[in-house]
Every structure is written in C-alpha cells, then in structure tokens.
C-alpha cells in the first residue's frame, strides 16, 4: 500500500511489478532509437523511468476519479494500480447521471492535461535531442493516447461511463445505460482487434505478430469488461423488481404438534407450496421437506408428526418480507450465510419461504 487519498488506500497490486518489467523490456529498444544510446544499462534505466512515469500518470487518472467522486458525495473505497493500468472502486453507485458522467470524464481530462504539460516541457524546457526531451515527448504521447482512448464511448472505458450516464439521463433507467454502453464496449473490443489485423493489409503490409498479440489481450480485456457491464445492467433490473413475491414460495404455518396430514390439509386450503412449523414462542422453527413428506403414505400421514419430515430453520434465517430491491437482496444475502432456506415474515406472520437457489436463478434469468 502506498498511502491514503480521500480516505481510501492506494494499492500497488503484485501484477504491476510484472507489467513494469515487461514494459521496460519492450520500451528499451525504442529508447536506444530515440537517444542513440548503444548497449549498457542506461537504456534500461531510462525505459524503467518512463514506465514509472506512465504508471504515475495512471495514478493521477484514478485519483482524479476518486477526488471528484468524494466531492460529489460518492466515497472512493480503493485506488489500485494493476497489470492493466489501474481502477478505482467506490462504496456505492453514483447518485445521479451528472455525477457519474463528471467522475468518468475527469480521468481522461487529467491525462490530456498531463499530455499538454509534457509537451510544453519537451518544446520549451528539455534540451533538443536529449534523453529528457525524448522522455517528455513519450510522456505527452502516452498520456494523450490514454486520455483519448478512454473517451471512446464503450464500457469499461470512461467514455462508456459517460454514454451510460447519457442514456440514464435520457431514459431515467440506469440499467438500460449499462446495457447500451456494454454492447458499445463489445463493438469497441472487436474493433481494436480488427483495426490491428486489417490496417496493415490496407497499407500494403502484414500484421506484426507482437502487435496482434497485444491487441488481442486488450480486446479480450475490453470484451470481458463490456460483457460484465451488460450482465450487471440486466441483473440490476431484476434486483430493482425483486420482491418476496418474485423469489419466494407462498407458505402456511402449523404448530409443532401438528401431524403431516394437518399440514397437507392446511397447505392445500391456502394453495401454498410450503409449510413452516412454528415453535411455541412463535418463531419459525422448521419447514416441511417436500421429498421426505412425499415418501409418507396417505394412510400414515395422520399419525406422522410434522417434525418427522421437517428441516430445522437455523437462527438468523428470517427476513423482512416487506423489503424490496437492493435492500431485500442484501437481507437475503446476510440470512443465507446461516442457511439456504429462509422464512419471510410480514407483521410477525410467515408469508413465504425463500431458497437461495431460487434467488440465484432469478438473478441469472
């Protein structure tokens, strides 16, 4: 960890070290070309310094996101530098399309400002033909590319966040924005690979294998992020519409001294799929296992205690049946840590059983 900014840790992921080594080796031949340096350690040192400056620019990009988000009431949780550059995580979603767009755009703007600063240094401060001039020119080009590329309107790029916010503002549906920007991101991912493959043939050349490999990696990264955004947008719609009625199974209650026959009669009368056994203190104590109950012949149901075919409900597996959306999903997530089946209660009365498998199926629908 490098420290804290805006109340959030700045983390250097182990994969960054791999990226630093690989990029240093990749840039060293270019450094020799720029500077005219031959062998020795100097080209490697210059290349490493450039890589460090490049990741410092990425950090400025991420810090810009976090600082503006915090100013707009959205708390950053973590700034991370990784193999692929960096990312910023937040404690919650942006409260409005305007905040989302503003937080997204400041990252690329920060890079473009850095590009301008490096360009001024290269033109007016660094001696002509010097190593310093070569590095500042490279810094200008790198930051300009990062800034402009991130403005391409497709998730997971910042431009995709801007597009997502625009669709959200126009339709009032955040999740539609995610789906639209995610599909656009998929187009961008394919476009990056096609550009590298097709452009050389148009200019009379052939694709460079190394460039194609890098493009494939970047395209795969973009496709993965875009696809995740599409899934998140669709899942978000499901979560917003989630109620106990959409994920639960209607239930009736019987006492601990009831027979299986009584439980069957009560469920049939209410057209309920589930039976919950209530303890003497009124707490949901167990639920009837449908498979176990089905194995009991009808002629023996009257003499079979309902608890003989019931599965206990552990403490902590009761949820508020009036909750909806994110609040309901969060409550179910907490309760499912205690057991895979939960009782939903409204005004002290059990109204449904919720199974973790049913919630997962609803989210994947």
Query: Quick one: DSSP state of residue 345?
Result: E
pLDDT at 44: 83
17 versus 259: the higher-pLDDT residue is: 259
pLDDT at position 128, please? 84
Which of 183, 214, 240 delimits the end of a domain?
240
65-75 pLDDT tens trace: 999 999 999 99
Domain of 336, in residue numbers: 244-364
Query: In the structure, what pLDDT confidence band is assigned to residue 36 with cuts at 50, 70 and 90?
Result: low
SS3 152: coil
In a shared domain, residues 233 and 248: no
Alpha-carbon distance values, 326 to 31, 96, 166 (Å): 52, 17, 23
CB-CB neighbours of 39 under 10 Å: 8
pLDDT at 120: 94
Whether residues 194 and 308 fall in one domain: no
One domain, residues 324 and 190: no
Please indicate, yes or no, whether residues 41 and 167 belong to a single structural domain of this protein.
Answer: yes
For residues 188 and 300, state if they share a domain. Answer: no
Binned at pLDDT 50, 70 and 90, residue 168 comes out as: very high
Pick from 286, 353, 288: nearest CA to 319: 353
Q: Give tens-digit pLDDT for 81-140.
A: 887 788 899 988 899 999 999 999 999 999 999 999 999 998 888 888 777 887 888 889
Residues shown for the chain: 365
pLDDT tens digit sequence for 294-331: 999 999 999 999 999 999 999 999 999 999 999 999 99
- The enclosing H or E element of 26 equals helix 14-35
Is 277 in the same domain as 175?
no
CA-to-CA distance for 189 and 220, rounded, in angstroms?
7
Helix (H, G, I), strand (E, B) or coil at 355: strand
What is the Cα–Cα distance from 55 to 138, expressed in whole angstroms?
13
- Structural element, H or E, at residue 266: helix 260-270
CATH number where 359 lies: 3.10.580.10
Say yes or no: 296 and 171 in one domain: no
If pLDDT is split at 50, 70 and 90, which confidence band does 176 have?
Answer: very high
Q: Is 47 in the same domain as 175?
A: yes
Whether 142 and 278 map to the same domain: the answer is no
173 and 304 share one domain? no
pTM: 0.79
Same domain, 159 and 248: no
Q: How many domains does the chain have?
A: 2
Task: Kindly report the average pLDDT of the chain as a whole number.
Answer: 91
SS3 label, residue 10: strand
* CA contacts within 13 A on the Cβ side of 138: 22
Same domain, 159 and 254: no
The band of 14, judged by pLDDT with boundaries at 50, 70 and 90, is confident
Q: Which of 240, 263, 295 is the last residue of a domain?
A: 240
Q: Which of 240, 270, 301 is the last residue of a domain?
A: 240
276 — pLDDT class (breaks 50, 70, 90): very high
């Amino acid at each position: 960890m490098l420290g804290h900014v805006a109340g959030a840790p700045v983390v250097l992921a182990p994969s960054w070290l791999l990226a630093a080594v690989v990029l240093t080796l990749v840039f060293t031949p270019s450094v020799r070309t720029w500077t005219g340096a031959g062998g020795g350690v100097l080209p490697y040192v210059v290349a490493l310094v450039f890589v460090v400056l490049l990741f410092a620019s990425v950090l400025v990009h991420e810090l810009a996101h976090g600082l503006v988000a915090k100013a707009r009431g959205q708390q950053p949780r973590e700034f991370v530098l990784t193999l692929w550059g960096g990312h910023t995580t937040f404690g919650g979603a942006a409260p409005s399309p305007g905040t989302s767009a503003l937080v997204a755009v400041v990252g690329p703007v920060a890079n473009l400002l850095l590009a301008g600063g490096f360009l001024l240094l290269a033109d007016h401060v660094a001696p002509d033909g010097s190593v310093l001039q070569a590095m500042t020119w490279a810094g200008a080009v790198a930051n300009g590319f990062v800034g402009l590329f991130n403005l391409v309107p497709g998730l997971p790029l910042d431009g995709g966040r801007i597009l997502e916010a625009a669709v959200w503002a126009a339709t009032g549906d955040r999740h539609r924005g995610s789906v639209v920007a995610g599909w656009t991101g998929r187009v961008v991912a394919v476009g990056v690979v096609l550009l590298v493959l097709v452009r050389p043939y148009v200019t009379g050349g052939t694709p460079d294998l190394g460039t194609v490999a890098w493009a494939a990696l970047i395209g795969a990264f973009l496709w993965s992020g875009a696809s995740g955004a599409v899934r998140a947008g669709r899942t978000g719609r499901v979560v917003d519409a989630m109620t106990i009625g959409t994920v639960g199974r209607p239930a009736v209650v019987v006492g601990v001294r009831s027979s299986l026959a009584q439980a069957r009669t009560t469920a049939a009368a209410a057209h309920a799929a589930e039976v919950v056994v209530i303890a003497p203190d009124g707490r949901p104590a167990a639920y009837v296992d449908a498979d176990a109950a089905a194995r009991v012949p009808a002629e023996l149901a009257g003499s079979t205690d309902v608890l003989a075919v019931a599965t206990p409900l552990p403490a902590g597996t009761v949820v508020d049946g009036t909750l909806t959306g994110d609040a309901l999903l969060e409550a179910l997530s907490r309760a499912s840590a205690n057991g895979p089946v939960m009782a939903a209660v409204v005004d002290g009365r059990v109204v449904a059983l919720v199974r973790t498998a049913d919630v997962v199926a609803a989210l994947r629908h």
